[in-house]
Copies of this chain bind each other. A is one copy, B any other.
Amino acid sequence: MNNFNFYSPTEFVFGKDRENECGTYVKKFGGSKVLIHYGGNSAKKSGLLDRVKKSLENSGIAYCELGGVQPNPRDGLVYKGIELCRKENIDFILAVGGGSVIDSSKAIAAGVPYDGDFWDFYSGKRIEKALPVGTVLTIAAAGSEGSGDSVITKEDGMFKRGAGSDALRPKFSVMNPELTQTLPAYQTACGATDIMAHVFERYFTNTTEVEITDRLCEAVLMTMVKETPRVIADPNNYEARANIMWAGMVAHNNIVGVGREQDWNSHGIEHELSALYDCAHGAGLAVIMPAWMEFVYKHNIMRFCQMAVRVFGCNMDFENPENTAIAGIKAFRRFLHDIGMPINFAELGAKEEDIPALTEKLGLGDGKTGGFVHLSSEDVSQIYKIAAKATL
């Protein structure tokens, strides 16, 4: 196990009707004038936005609003948000939505007290301070409600880049599973895939002797394998929604990933897909992750056997462990297909002829990525090719 710091100071406020308490928590964490940041009309139509405003009013907190966050949130709206916050003397940002809204809120929070261009933070500059952020989560997926991470897409060139800092960790996150019940099956499945990917990115490591985090990773994965099909079958299953929502936080606040090298190549490779085709991040991951696994599994066959046996209940082939490793990857892809995810380029709406452009955009040049297996441009291109043609 490697040395590490773990710091997850967010207060999670979980369960039915808890959005009615968000005024109390904004106050608890020092907010007096709030920017409510949200996405499309669903938060309005469902009455959620009204409940949030009422809760703020009950606590005597002023607010203004900025809607319009798109999936794969753009820098344009972030600039607009920063300007609005400065003009209105906002001291707290309340994200009402999913990962995109939260990521956009974090970017605004970092940008407001910073003299330069907020994009500097998405180009590697360290974030030292930010406005406090709270969230009212409506999609179980990104884990952004418990993480210090944010991903923004630069409209000029559609580059998707991330920034991370403890300063971006939400002060509180309201997590009411009921709010996710209106989410269509496809988006629910995309979220579930993203949650599992967050775990796999940590699970595939070269660090040995990490039994506790291995087991915690597997706990989240097994939960997703059990609960996701239940939600797809019945979107109103509160209990399954609740298990998935909490699993989504656990998957990404790093409690399952401390003390070990992590991978994150699948996320990097996928980001180019969702940036180019504007597809859902989770759908892109469903296509990329199993392909990545097929490309790298020989690097550590026993680790893939561990996944196969412990997570997907495969029988161990002691005579030929490679069979078990392959069976585990196949079981994962079959699971993704069964919950309605695309498993190849055609199903995703991606084109094989774009592979050179996708690879080029990742910008590896003659270099290699870090992670479980270090990948060259040629390796990434191979992974896209496997993903393009994948079948069950």
Contacts and interface: CB of A to CB of B under 8 A. Distances in A.
B3 A216 contact: no
Interface residues of A, number: 43
B226 A14 contact: no
B6 A12 contact: yes
Given A242-B1, A250-B255, A258-B246, A212 B223 contact: yes
Interface string A185-220: 000000000000000000000001111110110111
Given A9-B9, A14-B5, A246-B259, A227 B211 contact: yes
Given A212-B223, A243-B209, A246-B259, A14 B7 contact: no
A250 B227 CA distance: 23
A215 B214 CA distance: 12
Instruction: Please state the number of chain copies in the assembly.
Output: 2
Interface in A9-25: 9-16, 18
Contacts of A318: none
Contacts of A155: none
A232 to B, nearest CB: 16
Contacts of A5: 11-14
A11 B7 contact: yes
A239 interface: yes
Contact of A250 (B18, B216, B218, B246): B216
A190 B42 CA distance: 54
A98 to B, nearest CB: 19
Contact of A243 (B9, B210, B226): B210
A209 B230 CA distance: 12
Given A1-B15, A242-B259, 17 more contacts: A1-B177, A1-B239, A2-B15, A5-B13, A5-B14, A7-B10, A14-B259, A209-B239, A212-B220, A212-B243, A212-B250, A213-B246, A215-B218, A216-B216, A216-B220, A216-B250, A219-B219
Q: What are the nearest 5 A-B pairs in CB distance? A: A3-B15, A215-B219, A209-B239, A9-B9, A219-B219
29 contacts: A1-B239, A1-B242, A1-B246, A2-B15, A3-B15, A3-B16, A4-B14, A5-B11, A5-B13, A6-B11, A6-B14, A7-B10, A7-B12, A8-B9, A9-B11, A14-B258, A209-B240, A209-B243, A211-B223, A211-B226, A212-B220, A212-B223, A215-B218, A215-B219, A215-B223, A216-B216, A242-B259, A246-B259, A255-B255
